[in-house]
């Protein structure tokens, strides 16, 4: 009997070790993944968001509004808390993202800047090219010394191209080097149908995405407190600079064209518009209705800066339909 006991003990120990490893594996797995195959993002100890495995979005059959009623040929609506798609329309077809590009520019800059209060000098050399391409500007001047946080607001609210390039040069030495960081982040997030060629969204055949990929990006970026604060701001006044002693006040291009952010049962919290001749009218937005937050990304609506803003018209229609759905 004594010899049998000695032979059994090693097996028992091996079984216990195996069970322990299994428990540890399950715990680690659940720390990164929630039921239904929807990946979460985790926060590092430094407060910056870090991606778990690529975000998986779960479809749901019911839609609050028919996609055929939208002006935008591309659209996707996602409930934020569980990443469920409530409506989509050609969401995985290639689009030109225009200034929705600045969502990526902003979050990459935030994650690579150790201090958002640091002063950045805007190189005079970059302005000539931006003027030549008629890029949208926030209003800063060559050789202006501006806080990084003010450049982020300038990039996101009035869609200032000089802010994007200035941040890129400060962080990576050149716009081209910074774009590599943007494409690496896109790969990390599983944005497999996206490629960036610049930081501003100026049209280029090799600069493309999908509304689904842009939704993945926005969902990720909104977990960063600094990004969310900027994204949901109506206006922002910069600190005084060497060129603007009174600072500059920026206004969100979305809120400027949105007469009333209230929707049925909630409100539109923030958004980023985009437009080029090739991209059409685009919008990435965040709304809260009935205690839930939703992300909507649309692209390709006909029109321009002088026409009705059909991207915003679509957002109001979609978000208002959520409130009507909830009352049925």
Residue 43, pLDDT above cutoff 60: no
- For residue 54, what pLDDT is reported? 61
Predicted confidence at residue 13, as pLDDT, reads 63
Candidates 124, 321, 104, 120; CA nearest to 231 is 104
Average pLDDT score over residue span 17-43 = 43
Q: What is the number of other CB atoms lying within 10 angstroms of the CB of residue 4?
A: 7
Q: How far apart are alpha carbons 187 and 220 in whole angstroms?
A: 13
Helix (H, G, I), strand (E, B) or coil at 255: helix
Model confidence band, residue 59 (pLDDT cutoffs 50, 70, 90): confident
Computed from CA positions of residues 148, 152, 155, 157, in that sequence, does the dihedral angle turn out positive or negative? negative
Q: Per-residue confidence at 21, pLDDT binned at 50, 70, 90?
A: low
pTM of the model: 0.84
What pLDDT band is residue 46 in, cutting at 50, 70 and 90?
very low
Q: What is the pLDDT of residue 27?
A: 44
């Amino acid at each position: 009997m004594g010899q049998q006991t000695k032979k059994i003990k090693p097996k028992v120990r091996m079984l216990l070790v195996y069970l322990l490893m299994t428990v540890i594996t399950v715990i680690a797995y659940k720390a990164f993944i929630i039921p239904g195959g929807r990946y979460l993002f985790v926060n590092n100890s430094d407060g910056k968001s870090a991606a778990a495995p690529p975000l998986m979005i779960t479809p749901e059959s019911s839609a609050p509004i028919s996609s055929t009623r939208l002006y935008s040929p591309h659209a996707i609506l996602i409930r934020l808390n569980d990443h469920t798609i409530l409506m989509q329309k050609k969401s995985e077809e290639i689009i030109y993202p225009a200034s929705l590009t600045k969502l990526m520019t902003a979050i990459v800059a935030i994650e690579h800047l150790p201090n958002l209060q640091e002063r950045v000098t805007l190189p005079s050399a970059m302005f000539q090219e931006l003027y030549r391409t008629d890029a949208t500007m926030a209003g800063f001047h060559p050789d202006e010394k501006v806080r990084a946080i003010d450049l982020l607001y300038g990039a996101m609210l009035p869609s200032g191209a000089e802010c994007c390039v200035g941040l890129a040069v400060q962080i990576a030495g050149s716009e081209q080097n910074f774009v590599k960081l943007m494409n690496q982040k896109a790969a990390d997030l599983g944005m497999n149908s996206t490629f960036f060629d610049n930081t501003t969204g100026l049209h280029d055949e090799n600069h493309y995405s999908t509304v689904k990929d842009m939704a993945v990006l926005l969902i990720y970026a909104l977990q960063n407190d600094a990004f969310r604060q900027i994204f949901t701001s109506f206006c922002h006044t910069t600190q005084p600079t060497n060129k603007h002693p009174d600072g500059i006040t920026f206004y969100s291009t979305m809120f400027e064209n949105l007469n009333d952010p209230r929707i049925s049962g909630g409100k539109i919290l923030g958004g980023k518009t985009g437009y080029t001749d090739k991209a059409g009218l685009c919008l990435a937005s965040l709304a809260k209705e009935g205690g839930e937050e939703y992300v909507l990304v649309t692209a390709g609506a006909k029109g321009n800066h002088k026409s009705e803003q059909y991207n915003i018209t679509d957002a109001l229609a979609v978000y208002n339909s959520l409130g009507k759905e909830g009352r049925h």
